[in-house]
A and B are shown apart, each in its own frame.
Chain A
Amino acid sequence: MVENRPVLNIVQHGLLILGAALFVFPIYVAFIASTHTAREVGSGIPLLPGGELFTNYAQVLGEGLSSVGAPPIGLMLFNSAIMAIAITAGKIAISLLSAFAIVYFRFPFRVLAFWTIFITLMLPVEVRILPTYEVVAQLGMLNSYAGLSIPLIASATATFLFRQFFMTVPDELTEAARVDGAGPMKFFRDILIPLSRTNLAALSVILFIYGWNQYLWPLLVTTDESYYTVVMGIQRMANAGEEQPLWNLIMATAILAMLPPVMVIIGMQRLFVRGLVETEK
């Protein structure tokens, strides 16, 4: 839009800045809190940075909060990363394959299979959490990376998205590949997956954050603190029994827990933009 209306410009920018400030404020508070001593934070949250930045982060990264039964944050971040990556990779692999089957193969009950998958979209993890827990417990997968990630891998959303994408791939491309002598799996590998690249990037980001932010499920299946993930670790720290929660350290942990998803988004953003600029179809 080519418009030059200074008042409107100021109003627009004002609104945007206000909105952005509103969103950033809690994160700012968390960061400020992580730069003070516990006592300073306890007596009302300060709004200006304090001088304890390095000591706080060093303590969180180094020894952890053993007093409240939380392991060093490095281990929790590692656990979270394992879980998020396993969930992302598993979800993408399974949903790519099932979407491929649903779109490109004629087998009995194909439509039924699709709708069964589709219906599970309507059931969030929390609804089926008790039966899932029972199954995982019976299989002896409590306190393991497998137990943390496998039950969350099945994904109707990703299957559905890939199905929609595959259906936009022109039939001629499939036929050209057949004439060129590419069997189904070769077509899948050489043509469909490269074409899905931008969708893959977008979904990986979303699924990584989904996996990273899992809270209830890790809380249930892990009792061994060496399998704690960072998001639930924060909760453990805050519920520190009779002791006063060490808000400065908790906030430092929260800031650190936020960093990997932010890094993933920034890293993948280039692929997004490239995918949007190069429309390949």
Chain B
Amino acid sequence: MSDIAIEHVRKVYPGGVEVIPDLSLSIAAGELCVLVGPSGCGKSTLLRMVAGLETVTGGDIRIGGRRVNDLEPVERDISMVFQNYALYPHMTVYDNMAYGLRNRGEPKDRINAAVHEAAKTLGLSDFLDRKPRQLSGGQRQRVAMGRAIVRDPTAFLFDEPLSNLDAKLRVKTRVEIRALQQRLGTTSIYVTHDQLEAMTLADKLVIMNAGQIEQAGPPLEIYEKPATTFVAGFIGSPPMNVLPGTATGEGVMLETGHVLSPDRPAIGPVTIGIRPEHLVPTPSGPLPLKVQVVERLGATANVHGVLKGTGTELVASVTGPDIPKPGDTLPLAPHPGALHFFSPETGQRLG
């Protein structure tokens, strides 16, 4: 077990495109750190720099205290699971898993034991003689996992390993990955663009935007206290509602003239954030929603619409038997204390 430290890392691609200006992040030993963000935010680049597949323009990367900037991937003692699995198509499952060990010159019986052990863990024992093309997507994904764990590395790197699976298998594999990582206790970095995966897997969640960390911390803390409007919009599904408002002496006034809450961050214009699940239908509530679309999910329903009298879009997650229809007006009230305030200029959290 060893920790990973990323210190003031910078990445500029040839041609002068700066993907990561200056990024520092430390991952404790045994932790699973999830990097999440929109496409092009630099999360994969960062992972590939840790793996040694991309050069580091500036700063240091340390794995277990050892500076690895100039080491080949194999010398960093990491293993990586790729999005398309990158299994060697002409090799059997056994050979795919054994290849890295053979290149390290391990003795045959140790390779054999390690591969069978990994195959047993992942339920692949019956498939060792198959070629990747004879396996289903989920099995291939497990072979890729097997190739990673068989080497007993100091760190696992996952590059969107579940994106090629169907939804049901993704949930199942997600749980398996989490269980496996916890049992092995191997420090891991996991890149994804799926916020649900990020929330469920992470010990430490890192939200990236434009090559910078927007917020890092335990997933629930990020959910409860998003540091910026970007994070607020990224974590949680459906995303947090964002409304313009003004903080006055008596509370926060909306565009509609309703006053929401007596506790206010400061005097002046603010951006109000309310999670859809914190909006409750209340007779004569301060937020009258003109319903446009209703998505029924079974347990809950997402009600999409606009705030009456304005163009501000709003989503509410509603439970219970009374689901409104498009065209209805649904008065909503926020949970007390569930409001988030952000600065309209910087998007930073206030208070």
Contacts and interface: CB of A to CB of B under 8 A. Distances in A.
Contacts of A172: 82-84, 86
A280 B134 CA distance: 11
A225 interface: no
A197 B83 CA distance: 26
Interface stretch (B97-105, B266-274, B343-351): B97-105
A175 interface: yes
Contact of B73 (A173, A179, A279): A179
Interface residues of B, number: 25
Interface string B42-60: 0000000001110000000
Contact of A280 (B53, B74, B103, B133): B133
B172 interface: no
Given A191-B88, A195-B89, A179 B99 contact: no
Given A186-B103, A190-B99, A280-B133, A179 B90 contact: no
B251 to A, nearest CB: 55
Interface in A171-220: 172-173, 175-182, 186, 190-191, 194-195, 197
A235 to B, nearest CB: 44
A181 B86 contact: no
Q: Is the interface of B mostly helix, strand, loop or mixed?
A: loop
A170 B86 contact: yes
Q: Is the interface of A mostly helix, strand, loop or mixed?
A: helix
Interface string B67-92: 00000111000111011101111110
B74 A180 contact: yes
A278 interface: yes
Given A176-B80, A280-B133, A182 B103 contact: yes
A197 B90 CA distance: 10
Contacts of B133: 278-280
A176 B74 contact: no
Nearest to A278: B133
B176 to A, nearest CB: 21
A281 interface: yes
Interface of B: 51-53, 72-74, 78-80, 82-84, 86-91, 99-100, 103-104, 131, 133, 147
A-B pairs, top 5 by smallest CB distance, nearest first, are A181-B74, A172-B86, A180-B100, A181-B103, A176-B86
Interface of A: 170, 172-173, 175-182, 186, 190-191, 194-195, 197, 278-281
7 contacts: A175-B53, A175-B80, A176-B82, A180-B74, A180-B103, A180-B147, A182-B103
